[in-house]
Structure 1
Amino acid sequence: MTTTRFAPSPTGDLHIGGVRTALYCWLHARQHQGTFRLRIEDTDQTRSTQSSTQVILDGLSWLGLEHDGEVVYQSQRFAHYDGIIEQMLADGLAYYCWCTPEELDAMREAQKARGEKPRYNGKYRNGGEPVPGVDPVVRFKNPQEGSVVFDDKVRGRISISNSEMDDFIIRRSDGSPTYNFCVVVDDAEQEISLVIRGDDHINNTPRQINLYHALGYRVPEFAHVPMILGDDGKRLSKRHGATNVLDYRNEGYLPEAVLNYLLRLGWSHGDQEIFSREEMLQYFDIANVHSAAAAFNTEKLRWLNQHYLKSHTAENLIQPLQAHLKAADIALDEATILAAIPHYQERAKTLKEMAENMRWLGQAPSEYPEKAAQKAFKGEATANLLNDLAERLQALANYDEASIHGAIEACVTDNEVGFGKVGQPARLAVTGGAPSPDLAVTLCLPGRDSVVKRLQQAVDYINENKG
């Protein structure tokens, strides 16, 4: 049975790189009709927070990466870990170490001075007297001979000599278990068959494999995926923009765009760029993930997001769009939003941008861009044209796009002017210069009363600024 897991630490934001790992884990499990588990590795009690845990849960939920079974919290399993460590001490697989931090620092400095790799020297490996006033750590008795060899699904065969590793700590002096210990116990007990994680963990893997063997656990397979870099070739961080997955939701990206982009960030299927969820499940293979780091490109993500915006119906977009309209303090009724969406799917790359582009629909201009006003609002003739158009719109029996288009054409024809003489000032009067669709649509969307009022407001502005 295939079982994967996503095991983040709730000590900060859910990084976009972590989301890619979760996606790979989810895809591999679903492809093999297996199980995808979620584990919160909150053993670091000083840095773990409930808010960070909630970000993880909310982020995975938004992306539709549903996990199987209950969430496992390592902080709730300390007694269980402690029991295993005590048995290891009894079986001679682990031992107490009373070295003080100062002693360890001096040990490392002396090793550096001799040109050696800094490491614990095994002082208490074969026993030793307790040191008064010192709370001991517990160290795992790592094998001192032979090598650890494993076939990584991304990086190929990896071999590490046991002589390169020291006896690592499995329980701290405060009694809390360490990551390298807990992850082995949990992966074994949850029957994880494939561990997919970032390649920053690759140095931990040989230590963990030795621990699997010592405890009599089955060793899972491993796949260490490369880190994500910014456009400048440096590790992706906040200086490159958003890194928390919920920041992308708040910036107006669709979950399917984020997943599609992350899928392609280190994996490919020919030249295909757009993948449905079904195609992701059909084509993805963890063995085909590239071992080289991938560079994050925000413009590529924006392009993908616009593709998905255009592919959705207005009905599908209205709920997430309403959240962005509310966040921007833009009040529009549902009918207006539904009518406007099709005209902005080509114009916006994010929902946030789409919402901002719609601000004019519910908010008459309080001012006009100076250069635009100088060009569009020229003289008394323009004021007369806007007055005429307002009267024609007010008189329409049916206020719809076709009738509005007829009223505009009649205004142009009867006044013997070009379309631009009416269209340009009317558009500025109604939108204040915001991006807007065809003029008849622009004059229809806000409703008759609002449009007529805006045209009259522009007439007043022109008359007040004569000369």
Structure 2
Amino acid sequence: MLRFAPSPTGDMHIGNLRAAIFNYIIAKQKGEKFLIRIEDTDFSRNIEGKDTEILSILNLFGLLWDELVYQSHNFERHRNFADYLIKHDKAFYCYCTKEFLEKKKQEALDLRIPFRYDDAWAEIQKKDNPKPVVRLRGSFEPISFYDEIKGRLEFYPNELDSFVILREDGIPTYNFACACDDMIYDISFIVRGEDHVSNTPKQILIQKSLDYQKQLGYAHLPIILGESGKKMSKRDSASSVSWLLGQGFLPQAIINYLIGMGNHTPVEIFTLKDALEWFDIANIAKSPVKFDLKRLRYVNREHLKRLNESEFSLLLQTQDITIGALGKLYLEEASTLNEIREKLGLIFSPKDIDVTYEGESFKEECLKLFEVLWGMSMQGESFIEYESFKNEAMKRSALKGKKFFKPLRILLTGESHGVDLNELYPYLRFYFKDILRIKGEK
């Protein structure tokens, strides 16, 4: 079984989504189940409703799970594991206060040496501290594991001193709960961010101490850098999956982009289903990858192009296929649904003829041409071909060249340049009474 283990403490980051995608793909490739484990043990930081939001996003991206569990539901089992470790002298109670440990850390800092917990400190403050923590005894031998991306990694005993597995309130720490749950649900392979590399030897030590013999597979994904070249933070809007969706990026395009980051793919544009055929986690680059919003925009445009008019209409929240067809024409200059909605919004909004376009005013010509077009529309005159429509409007308005074409485009699209009117007209002609409106006039 493979798992994705999000924490309900904030918005889903694209790095989290990338890990979820890879775990899902590998589970399908191996014919194993895909588990979602909500890691809700940090009660002070949990945000109400975030778990539901995370699950909704996973569902939207087609990352459907076979099982769903909440880590807090296993607290009793975690404590039983801790009792087993204490009973077999593989874990012990530590009565050190936070103040005592802070003092020791400062002493190490002053001496310019790494801070290491000393097991001899465990009962020094036993009389003063009625709420001890439980620590797992550190390793006396190196712990190594093979990472499918980074290769063989090894950690030495001086890097693994005795660490806390149960807090003073009896709540398990992240590493302990994680290691126990990976045992409970028989996890076989784990894909997660490289910020977890230092956690992995601790989790392996926990499982070994519990006499768990299974060797898990690991792949730690390189960090994602922002456009500034620094690690992407919550301040980077594009790091939020919800923000990307709100901007009008398609789930399938985001999946395509995240799978392709730092990866050699056989094709440039593909779906999640396609990736199941050829994805190999070993092909992911070891170095950090930079998030490129321009590249995502290109990928998104390519996925929008693949949609038919009916599918496009539904994404624009209408069943009018003509609107979908009209929207697709704007893929020449737009790459997200929001940008296309903005273009369509200009078409169906009252036109502002008081502003200048490229430094020129066309107000007089717009008013003159508006009267002609409105008259043609109200009389029910039908011009199927753009050329015949254009020639008749030019003839009746007596406008020529730029003085005709700029006002025509402004009145029909709300802009002074863009997609060829010859391409737009076959769709616009059905909505002239809705389109031909001037701002400020009834």
**Could you state the TM-score of these two structures normalised by the residue count of structure 1?**
0.86
Q: 2:118 aligns with which of 121, 125, 130?
A: 121
Q: 1:426 aligns with which of 408, 419, 422?
A: 408
Q: Which residue of 2 aligns with 1:355?
A: 341
Preserved contact between residue 41 and residue 74 of structure 1 (Cα < 8 Å): yes
For 1:60 and 1:368, the matched residues in 2 are separated by: 47
Q: Which residue of 2 aligns with 1:194?
A: 189
Alpha-carbon shift at residue 221 of structure 1 (Å): 1.4
Letter in 2 for 1:8: P
For 2:332 and 2:169, the matched residues in 1 are separated by: 58
Range that drifts further, 56-65 or 419-428: 419-428
Listed as ranges, the gaps of 5+ residues in structure 1 are: 323-331, 462-467
For 1:48 and 1:374, the matched residues in 2 are separated by: 56
Preserved contact between residue 8 and residue 41 of structure 1 (Cα < 8 Å): yes
Range that drifts further, 231-240 or 351-360: 231-240
Change (3 A) 1:222 1:373: closer
Q: Which residue of 1 aligns with 2:306?
A: 311
Alpha-carbon shift at residue 91 of structure 1 (Å): 1.9
- 1:237 is the counterpart of 2:219: no
For 2:416 and 2:25, the matched residues in 1 are separated by: 42
Secondary structure of 2:46's aligned partner: coil
Letter in 2 for 1:431: T
Change (3 A) 1:314 1:365: same
Per-residue CA shift, 1:336-393, capped at 9, x if unaligned? 53342232232311001111111133322255422469443456xx755543343333
% identical aligned pairs: 31
Per-residue CA shift, 1:283-305, capped at 9, x if unaligned? 21111211111111111111111
For 1:62 and 1:182, the matched residues in 2 are separated by: 28
Alpha-carbon shift at residue 436 of structure 1 (Å): 5.6
Alpha-carbon shift at residue 310 of structure 1 (Å): 1.4
Alpha-carbon shift at residue 62 of structure 1 (Å): 1.6
Please show how residues 53-452 of structure 1 align to structure 2 within 5 Å.
Answer: 53-69=51-67, 71-124=68-121, 130-143=126-139, 145-217=140-212, 218-269=214-265, 272-322=267-317, 334=320, 337-371=323-357, 374-378=360-364, 383-398=367-382, 401-402=384-385, 405-413=387-395, 418=400, 420-433=402-415, 437-439=419-421, 441-442=424-425, 444=428, 447-451=431-435
Alpha-carbon shift at residue 194 of structure 1 (Å): 0.7
Change (3 A) 1:253 1:82: same
Per-residue CA shift, 1:372-415, capped at 9, x if unaligned? 69443456xx75554334333333454x643x642321233567
Q: Which residue of 2 aligns with 1:8?
A: 6
**Could you state the TM-score of these two structures normalised by the residue count of structure 2?**
0.91
Preserved contact between residue 198 and residue 226 of structure 1 (Cα < 8 Å): yes
Change (3 A) 1:437 1:214: same
Secondary structure of 1:223's aligned partner: strand
Q: Which residue of 2 aligns with 1:28?
A: 26
**RMSD of Structure 2 on Structure 1 (CA):** 2.7
Change (3 A) 1:375 1:65: same
Per-residue CA shift, 1:201-240, capped at 9, x if unaligned? 1111111111111112223111111110112221012444
Preserved contact between residue 170 and residue 181 of structure 1 (Cα < 8 Å): yes
Secondary structure of 2:152's aligned partner: strand
Q: Which residue of 2 aligns with 1:464?
A: none
Secondary structure of 1:191's aligned partner: coil
For 2:107 and 2:302, the matched residues in 1 are separated by: 60
